[in-house]
Amino acid sequence: MAKRPLQEINAGSMADIAFLLLIFFLVTTTMSTNTGMQRKLPPIPEIDVEPPPVKERNVMVILVNKDNVIAIRGRPIALNNITEKAKIFFSNPNKSEDLPEFRFKDIPFFGNHPVSKGLVSLQTDRNTSYEKYLQVQNELVRAINELRDELSLKKFGMKFEDLDDDKQDAVGDAIPLAISEAEPRRMTGTGGN
């Protein structure tokens, strides 16, 4: 019996099929990757538990009012000065009496290291614009990141983001991200229930 040669499959339509897939993916996908600022909300406190008293020197209240004017401890401040102010607040370089205290904490790599008790409380009005709020948050996070970078450079000779996970945790413990996302004023009972 004569063997017939295998017939080649016509690949001419392959391009059409590939084009079809290509166009499908072009339509259903987006180019943008998501970036964002990660934060942690505090859990809802138990009703009966009084919040622990906090000394006035350990809290920095930042207020953004309905006209998007920023004030720190009652004094107006420009957006680009916040980082500097927050860094001084958290690091308290001169051990000043009206800036936060330190408590000593055992941290790996650092031993008994002073950790600032400072807490930034960011308060807004219901009419504050979200953009302004996020800008202020951004400045505060920048302050923390710069402090962490400085500490990492001093201790390990590397920037914070180049450290391995254990060291990042240690530096993160030494300089915590102490920004309170606490409930705003005049918020009680308007949660939407």
Partner 1 sequence: MAKFAKKGKTGTPAISTASLPDIVFMLLFFFMTVTTMKEVDLKIQVRNPKATEVKKLENKSLISYIYVGTPNKKYQAKYGKEAVIQLDDAFARVRDIGPYIAAQRAAMDAESRSKMTTALKIDKGTKMGIVTDIKQELRRAKALKITYTADKTSKEDFF
**Residues in touch with partner 1 (CB under 8 A):** 11-12, 14-15, 17-19, 21-22, 25-26, 28-44, 79-80, 124-131, 133-135, 137-138, 141-142, 145, 181, 183-184, 187, 190-193
Which residue, 86, 118, 99, 107, is CA-closest to 167? 107
Tokens of 2: 């004569």
Give least dist CB 6 to partner 1, A.
19
Q: Which residue's CB is nearer to partner 1, number 121 or number 138?
A: 138
Tokens of 4: 């017939």
Q: Are strands 111-116 and 119-124 parallel, antiparallel or unpaired?
A: unpaired
Q: Which residue's CB is nearer to partner 1, number 22 or number 69?
A: 22
Q: Which residue's CB is nearer to partner 1, number 58 or number 145?
A: 145
First and final C-alpha spacing in the chain: 85
Question: What Cα–Cα distance (Å) separates residue 120 from each residue in 52, 62, 90?
Answer: 16, 7, 9
Q: Which residue's CB is nearer to partner 1, number 81 or number 96?
A: 81
Give least dist CB 84 to partner 1, A.
13
